[in-house]
Structure 1
Amino acid sequence: MQTQNANLYSGWRLLLAGGQMLFVAFGSLVLVPLITGLDPSVALFTAGLGTLIFQFTTKRSIPVFLASSFAFIAPIIFAVETWGKAATMGALFCAGLVYVVLSALVALRGPGFLHRLLPPVVTGPIIMVIGLGLAPVAVNMALGKTGDASAQLFPYADAIMVSMPALLTTLLVATFAKGIFRLVPILAGVAVGYALAAFNGMVDYSAVSASSWISLPGFVMPEFVPAAILFMLPVAIAPAIEHVGDVLAIGSVTGKDYVQKPGLHRTLLGDGLATSAASLFGGPPNTTYSEVTGAVMLTKAFNPVVMTWAAVFAILLAFIAKFGALLQTIPTPVMGGIMILLFGSIAGVGMNILIKGRVDLSAQRNLVIVAVTMVFGIGGMSIGSSDWHLQGVSLCGIVAIALNLLLPHPDESNDLHEEQEIVEDMVDHARH
């Protein structure tokens, strides 16, 4: 069956399928830089570059596409405001190295090591904090304000008339659409919101007119500031675990065990190198895209060369300056409306991790870890001095891991047995 699929996607069909995969990933890919203030053209370039690096590291054996990670949105916004873009890029470069370290540990101790270090009781609340901590940013932007509500960019009435239809379109497409259209809810929401904004005179095309057709993206060289690095390092914890789930998911779609071959250590290494490489150019961190995995399942495009072409198309688009300028004309309320659903969905993923991991919150140990992690994250707890401090996802990651390691288990033997069962279930799921 897989041989037939490989033959189906050959020659010119590979190019067409590659363009389709980029289309599926496009909405999420450019949304992250637009939210965080980075250059969407650079994000396109680094998504293509990161995908090629991942393919090289994994011997081009997995049909996945890497692009902008949502887990880093809040830390990037805070880091850019505090230390600037260059220092943020240096911090993200080091965050990518966390994946490299994890990949080495997985190679030495096996894939079950990650679950023992970062069980659901740790990763679940961290991911929930990522989504819920961004809720005020989404609402402020939907109301026509800046993310921190420091300024009103558009009148309230105009903002609501754009943001709510964008939100409604996104959730309707995600829920009711069929086939390939179900995989592009963000793109559909942006299209409807943008059309309404343009009709209401909320779009300024002056930057598009002033830009040239072809030019280099606005690359940013990294600077290495210790405070920014220490802030960003723990953020890599949640997306690293998410990466494991993505690898298992694409394995279940293609019927191959990627945990064993090319190995989870290679996939983590590829993701980490892609993230570090992106930061060298000023792009957001990369992660494997679930939307593209869904497209692979729908189209049966199992040939990894499809993703090679998607990466090439992304890199080529990055050099079309007018296209990048057009992306930056998307009004704030359009993005805000979509972000309401998006960030809520991230929180839902964290909740689902707790449920699937069978985390018993009636056990005081688990309740303490989840409660402290979430209140620290959502409440804005900060620890440190004015020169250096931890807060947000970074602080939550360290606190959750520390509590999990330090607090005693009620029954150590039962916990270890349950942990072993979950790891075995993960491997079985990847194989079947």
Structure 2
Amino acid sequence: MATSDYSFRLKDSLLGAQMLFVAFGALVLVPLLTGLDPNVALFTAGAGTLLFQAITRGKVPVFLASSFAFIAPIIYGVQTWGIPATMSGLAAAGLFYVALAALVKARGAGILHRVLPPVVTGPVIMVIGLILAKVAVFMAVGKTGDGSAELFPREIALTVALAALATTILASLLGKGFLRLVPILCGIAAGYAVSLAMGIVRFDAVGAAPWLAMPAFTLPELNWEAILFIVPVAIAPAIEHFGDVLAIGSVTGRDYVKDPGIHRTMLGDGLATTLASCLGGPPNTTYSEVTGAVALTRVFNPGVMTWAAITAIALAFVGKLGALLGTIPTPVMGGIMILLFGAITVVGINTLVRAGEDLMQPRNLAIVAVILVFGIGGMSFNIGEVTLAGIGLAGIVGVVLNLVLPMQRAAK
């Protein structure tokens, strides 16, 4: 059967629902951590996947959903400018993908590695993880994300958080088959079970919620500060996108970099992200969990991902689902975040390690050092009435330093 054969059979619909189950924990985790609506995230994941499939001519078996790379800027953006303004920054990040896709189309895929080498992307990814460390700890001990108020007793919160954390780690290490593909879902389930046992879960909102309801879509509002803060964050997931496409290609035995082309896959990812942001959902990215499920099941038909997308859109209109997800206590999320944000940091470290470059060379040392200290230390610059700070500033400075600093001369 050709990979572009969209066969609307019962078997494919069930396989699609199965793929959504694999992605579900990570998909809803991002809106739950950032204050966005999980039902909207489900809708935009489904709609974004359908758009991606259309742009890539139905040739790539991937599912697009909530990107972890944008958690830090979303949290900061929502607290600083509100959701509509933050959405404008995320929509612009999607358009940054579109610009990169045009660049790749004109100059070839190698341009990504020349403009965004590991010495830039690695520390930017590290900043994304490290800047959120305090948020994870505050939530794990029962406080709000900024630590300003206590929501649950510390002892109870720590018990719940550690149960979620330990289960997630054990599922990723010891899980077999599909269990190993859904460690976050396992951790949330374990933390939720402990929360129920300790009596800290409230179901009032679930009872009041309707069975069927329109997702709470939010339109973006133009905000240049949010745009300049968030757009540079797209540097890291843009490079990860290239790796994800290579990964799914190695699983299916096809070269998606050539057909449909990395420029088309990046264009699809970018437009899906902009679409999601225009509706109030988190940015989209290709899910490695689903790639793992494709490898395990050997189901290479992209039509299955279409069914996963349709299932996600259908679930988005179940009002009680969003209300039920909202009952998950913050310590459960805190336990998951400890591992998640640490893992993002490790991905950045691994990016540098795999590059094999000497970080003590003056050029590399300068780029990495400035990115890390600017990003983690909270450096900011004012450009007129616009403030450039945090991850956005770190990403821009890294790119500029990589372009302007002279290359190291080879030893004679």
Q: TM-score, normalised by structure 1?
A: 0.92
Q: Secondary structure at the match of 2:356?
A: coil
Aligned ranges 1:250-399 → 2 under 5 Å: 250-384=248-382, 387-399=385-397
Deviations 1:211-233 (A, max 9, x none): 11001011101111222222222
Which position in structure 1 is the counterpart of 2:62?
Answer: 64
The answer (yes or no) to whether the contact 1:251–1:257 under 8 Å persists in 2 is yes
Asked if 1:35 is matched to 2:33, the reply is yes
1:413–1:401: structure 2 CA closer, same or farther, 3 Å change rule? farther
The answer (yes or no) to whether the contact 2:89–2:230 under 8 Å persists in 1 is yes
Structure 2 residue ranges without an equivalent (≥5): none
Distance 2:311 2:229 in 1: 34
Q: CA deviation at 1:385?
A: 6.8
The answer (yes or no) to whether the contact 1:6–1:302 under 8 Å persists in 2 is no
Which position in structure 2 is the counterpart of 1:243?
Answer: 241
Residue 362 of structure 1 aligns to which amino acid in structure 2?
Answer: M
Distance 1:161 1:235 in 2: 34
Distance 2:63 2:2 in 1: 22
Asked if 1:400 is matched to 2:365, the reply is no
Distance 1:59 1:48 in 2: 16
The answer (yes or no) to whether the contact 1:5–1:300 under 8 Å persists in 2 is no
Q: CA deviation at 1:11?
A: 2.7
Distance 1:86 1:225 in 2: 9
Residue 253 of structure 2 aligns to which amino acid in structure 1?
Answer: G
Which position in structure 1 is the counterpart of 2:186?
Answer: 188
Identical-residue share of aligned pairs (%): 63
Q: Secondary structure at the match of 2:65?
A: strand
Aligned ranges 1:84-233 → 2 under 5 Å: 84-233=82-231
Distance 2:280 2:191 in 1: 28
1:104–1:212: structure 2 CA closer, same or farther, 3 Å change rule? same
1:261–1:393: structure 2 CA closer, same or farther, 3 Å change rule? same
Q: CA deviation at 1:4?
A: 9.8
Distance 1:413 1:66 in 2: 46
Deviations 1:349-406 (A, max 9, x none): 1111111111211211111111111111112222227942122210111011111111
Distance 1:98 1:385 in 2: 20
Asked if 1:234 is matched to 2:228, the reply is no
Distance 1:378 1:177 in 2: 34
RMSD: 1.8
Q: CA deviation at 1:304?
A: 0.3
Which position in structure 2 is the counterpart of 1:428?
Answer: none
Which position in structure 2 is the counterpart of 1:74?
Answer: 72
The answer (yes or no) to whether the contact 2:3–2:302 under 8 Å persists in 1 is no
Distance 1:361 1:223 in 2: 41
Q: CA deviation at 1:279?
A: 1.0
1:385–1:184: structure 2 CA closer, same or farther, 3 Å change rule? same
The answer (yes or no) to whether the contact 2:164–2:332 under 8 Å persists in 1 is yes
Q: TM-score, normalised by structure 2?
A: 0.97
Residue 340 of structure 1 aligns to which amino acid in structure 2?
Answer: I
The answer (yes or no) to whether the contact 2:70–2:283 under 8 Å persists in 1 is yes
The answer (yes or no) to whether the contact 2:164–2:190 under 8 Å persists in 1 is yes
Distance 1:99 1:4 in 2: 29
Deviations 1:163-216 (A, max 9, x none): 001000000000111111100000000001001101111111111111110010
Q: Secondary structure at the match of 1:204?
A: coil
The answer (yes or no) to whether the contact 2:20–2:312 under 8 Å persists in 1 is yes
Residue 266 of structure 1 aligns to which amino acid in structure 2?
Answer: R
Distance 2:327 2:29 in 1: 12
Deviations 1:114-156 (A, max 9, x none): 1100001010000011111111111111011111101111110
Structure 1 residue ranges without an equivalent (≥5): 415-432
Distance 2:272 2:265 in 1: 11
Residue 252 of structure 1 aligns to which amino acid in structure 2?
Answer: S
The answer (yes or no) to whether the contact 2:225–2:388 under 8 Å persists in 1 is no
Q: Secondary structure at the match of 2:388?
A: strand
Residue 73 of structure 2 aligns to which amino acid in structure 1?
Answer: P
